[in-house]
Amino acid sequence: MFAYPMEVISDIYLSKIGGFSYELSKKEIGINAKALEVNTSIIASETYAKLRFFDERPYPYFFKRSFKIVGLEENMEGYEFSPNGEVVLPADLEDENVVGKNVMINTVESFRIDYDYRNVIKKILGYAGICLEDRERRN
């Protein structure tokens, strides 16, 4: 029924940029609410995502901006830009010429890490041979 967002890997989706909306804040992106419901496991107004354009230089994951995903309803301004589930960006980013470009929507952090980075840091330090508990005892 909806072409986008298309899941390519668990919790990572592919879509296109449909346009810009003044109803969205700087930290929000909008996607057709019905497309979210049918095509994804994304929970509107709760799930956060990081966007990546295919032609951009890859930045370190933790330096990318996070956006809250808003479900666009028929009565909202940006709904017309997301008829097939395209991503609608906030009007603050309108100076970029990105309409129609492919974008990857990464929601892995929101679903799997849930913003608790303690286990991630322990794993990273463990691979580096540093024991976090020893460091805490020394301090």
- The CATH code that applies to domain 6-113 is 2.40.40.20
Residues contacting 65, CB < 8 A, separation 6+: 27, 50, 51
Residues contacting 57, CB < 8 A, separation 6+: none
**From CA 77, how far away is CA 118, in angstroms rounded?**
39
Residue 119: pLDDT band with limits 50, 70, 90: low
Q: Does the pLDDT value for residue 32 go beyond 70? A: yes
Q: Does the pLDDT value for residue 28 go beyond 90? A: yes
Q: Give me the residues paired with residue 53 across strands.
A: 103
Q: Does the pLDDT value for residue 43 go beyond 60? A: yes
- Mean pLDDT (the chain, rounded): 83
Q: Does the pLDDT value for residue 133 go beyond 70? A: no
Backbone angles phi, psi at 137, to 5 degrees: -65, -35
**Which of 34-43, 49-58, 98-107 is the least confident region?**
49-58
Q: Does the pLDDT value for residue 114 go beyond 60? A: no
- pLDDT (average), residues 103-127: 69
- Across 45-84, b (16+ Cβ under 10 Å) vs e yields eebbbbbbeeeeeeeeeeeeeebbbbbbeeebbbbebbee
pLDDT of residue 34: 94
Residues contacting 91, CB < 8 A, separation 6+: 20, 21, 22, 24
